[in-house]
Amino acid sequence: MLPQIVLPKRRYLVRFNPKRVPHLFTDVLVIGAGITGIRAALAIDPNLNVVLATKDRLKESNSAYAQGGIAGVFDPVDNFANHVADTLAAGKGLCNRAIVDTVVREAPARIRELVSMGAHFDQTDGEIALTQEGGHSHRRVVHALGDATGKEVMRALIEQIRSAPQVDIWENTFTIDLLTHGGECRGALVWNASHGKTFVWAKQTILATGGAGRLYRETTNPEIATADGHAMAFRAGCELRDMEFMQFHPTVLYIAGSSRHLISEAARGEGGILRDCTGHRFMPDYDSAAELAPRDIVSRSITRQMEKTRHHCVYLDLTHLPKSLVLERFPHIRQVCTQFGLDLLRDQIPVRPGAHYMIGGITVDDEARTSLPRLWAAGEVTSSGLHGANRLASNSLLEGLVFGLRAGINASNAACGESDQFTALALKTDPMQMLPVEGAFAGHEEPLESSTLKLDDLLNSLNSEMWRNVGIERNDSDLESALRQIEFWDRYVGPHEFAMTKGWELQNLLLVARLMVIAALSRKESRGTHYRSDFPGTDPTQAEHIRLLAQP
Ligand code: SIN
């Protein structure tokens, strides 16, 4: 399959006069403060200066919402070969075997390291307790606070990073674009309410901005997951790949008035069953692994059963499980359900699938290196080859730890070797020559008044379009119609210059939506999370990545 070449509307989202913007110099800039960004920042040599920029508060990251846990081999009846085999089976021919092997082997060490940093994982008889999730042949998912693993892991990591004196934490700071010169990344243009726009020049930059779930009407992701890293990397010239693969989680709380809260796969791992509105347990009709089939199969089966029964959701039933198990393992889910008058011990939980995890992203090698020199990337914003066409449950926090560490060490080593020549070079560069933005704004030079354009309305429309036409099942005519619609919106939203986060996020979402649709149109087969109702089979000749690159 040939790479797709797409021309972005322009290189930078905003105009700026480099002579008037404040300039700041650092050794390493880390963008994003979930598990990956913080793990990376902690790996940087304490003699270097680090800026850690995050668009919200430090505690608001997608990682903090993770429930299920972190996969790693701890059980003596399990082994690395099993974990590798399960990951490859889920990935449906698109995993990089060597990457899978090293990540799986590193898992126990990375998890123990979290323990040494103060994270408390649940235990049974003094040993780390393990649960099972879909696609895993053994119990190997480490968890905390019953069903709030991300919360506990992020608590420990945030405590560590707050006591690292070399790390300057910039909260509520939106990264608008990466700065590039001479084909290399030189840092980023960031914005916050106190300082406005600032150039952060960095010898090395690490991108760890997470996912893109907010493209969809139904999603488990918090509001911050707006594909910013994918979009800024693409504009800066990085290669992206596998953008057709969005993972849908089968069980998202579906109650009018509630946020779309994740109901952990561990609930099915511990024996929860799915019923339709007539009470029928339907998963065995679709797959012999029933509720523990891979997520793409469970999500599609739920959708089909909802269509069959003409009902807006299905139900997750835990009422047959021992009361003590439910109370111990799912305190957080129980608390959320209680707010809506549901008691897990007596009531079934209304659920349906939602967008959960962006599998595609910036292509990185085994050292977290991107195709843009001086830029490293890790975690959900990347495609490392670990997940292939479908991510195995609880392999994502693991990837964040392993690749965050690698990105941190490599960026640190590279920055150490550079002394201060870089700063001198940056100061000598004529900024106007370096940042040719004027042409890119021709015809659209007036900042758009926010009142002219209803951004919330546009976002809702984009969310519905993606859910309807680029969702769990796709086909050529729906994808073509989504592309036309997105390009239409992008024609009037894309060229404008916004002065606020919501506008930049919308521009990023529109760009990434377009890339996802183009990739989904190009893959004329079904594989992993990408299910084409017009090409329901897997075609062995398409076992390749679809790569996307902006035309220079
Ligand atoms: C879950 O708890 O079901 C989410 C785990 C994951 O996405 O890996």
pLDDT at residue 439, as a whole number? 35
Asked if residue 430 has pLDDT above 70, the reply is no
Confidence of residue 429 (pLDDT cuts 50, 70, 90): low
Q: How far is the CA of 264 from the centre of ligand 1 (A)?
A: 6
Q: Do 256 and 349 lie in a common domain?
A: yes
Bridge pairing between strands 50-53 and 23-31: parallel
Reported confidence tier of residue 20, pLDDT bands at 50, 70, 90:
confident
Contact in structure between 255 and 121 (CB atoms under 8 Å): no
Q: Indicate the helix (H) or strand (E) that contains 331.
A: helix 331-338
Find the angle CA(223)-CA(227)-CA(232) to the nearest 5 degrees: 135
492 alpha carbon, distance to own chain's centre: 27
Contact between 354 and 216 under an 8 Å Cβ cutoff? The reply is: yes
In a domain, 241, yes or no: no
In total, the chain counts a number of residues equal to 552
Which residues is 339 bridged to in the sheet?
none
pLDDT of residue 59 exceeding 50, the answer is yes
User: Going by CA atoms, what residue is nearest to atom 5 of ligand 1?
Assistant: 68
Q: Residue 136: which of 66, 65, 88 has the closest Cα?
A: 88
What's the pLDDT at 428?
53
Name, in order, each residue with C-beta under 8 angstroms of 1's C-beta and a sequence gap of 6 or more: 522, 523, 542, 544, 546
Does residue 67's CB lie within 6 angstroms of at least one atom of ligand 1? yes
Q: How far is the CA of 276 from the centre of ligand 1 (A)?
A: 22
Distances (CA, A) of 210 to 60, 94, 390, 400: 12, 21, 17, 10
Residue 271 domain flag? yes
Q: What is the Å distance from ligand 1's center to 70 Cα?
A: 9
Residue whose CA is at the smallest distance from ligand 1 atom 4: 68
The rounded mean pLDDT for the chain is 92
Reply yes or no on whether the pLDDT at 88 is more than 90.
yes
Domain-terminating residue out of 355, 378, 403:
355
User: Domain boundary residue among 314, 334, 355?
Assistant: 355
- Residue 216 belongs to some domain of the structure: no
- Find the distance separating the first CA and the last CA of the chain, reported in whole Å: 21
**Number of structural domains in the chain:** 2
The verdict on residue 282 lying in a domain is yes
User: Is residue 10 in a domain?
Assistant: no
Q: Confirm whether 33 is domain-assigned.
A: no
CA 15 – CA 31 distance, rounded (Å): 21
Protein residue with its CA nearest to atom 7 in ligand 1: 393
3-state secondary structure of 456: helix
pLDDT of 450 > 60? The answer is no
Question: What CATH number has the domain bearing residue 332?
Answer: 3.90.700.10
User: Ligand 1 within 6 A of 394 CB?
Assistant: yes
| pLDDT tens per residue across span 214-253 | 999 999 999 999 999 999 999 999 999 999 999 999 999 9
- Per-residue pLDDT band for 433 (boundaries 50, 70, 90) equals very low
Instruction: Report the pLDDT value the prediction gives residue 426, as an integer from 0 to 100.
Output: 57
Range(s) of the domain holding residue 460: 438-550
Closest ligand 1 atom number to CA of residue 68: 2
Distance CA 242, CA 219 (A): 20
Residue 424 is predicted with a pLDDT of 54
Asked whether 221 and 356 are in contact (CB, 8 A), the reply is yes
Strand order of the sheet with strand 349-358? 246-253, 349-358, 314-317, 273-275
Can you give the pLDDT at residue 55?
97
CATH code of the domain covering residue 457 = 1.20.58.100
Q: Catalytic positions, please? A: 295
For the CA of 71, the closest atom of ligand 1 is: 8
pTM exceeds cut of 0.85: yes
380 has pLDDT over 60: yes
pLDDT, tens digit, for every residue of 461-513?
999 999 999 999 999 999 999 999 999 999 889 888 898 899 999 999 999 99
CA of 68 to the centre of ligand 1 (A): 5
Query: Given ligand 1 and candidates 103, 249, 401, which is best to mutate, with the most ligand atoms within 8 Å of its CB?
Result: 249
51 in helix, strand or coil? strand
pLDDT in tens, 310-335: 999 999 999 999 999 999 999 999 99
Give the Å distance between the CA of 393 and the centre of ligand 1.
Answer: 5
Ligand 1 pocket residue status of 265, Cβ below 6 Å: yes
Atom of ligand 1 nearest to the CA of 396: 8
What average pLDDT score do residues 92-114 get? 98
Q: In the predicted model, is pLDDT for residue 378 greater than 90?
A: yes
Q: Is 287 contained in some domain?
A: yes
Phi, psi of 342 (to 5 degrees): -105, 135
Whether 172 has a pLDDT exceeding 70, the answer reads yes
Whether residue 346 is found in the same domain as residue 254 = yes
pLDDT at residue 412 greater than cutoff 80: yes
| Domain boundary residue, one of 355, 375, 391 | 355
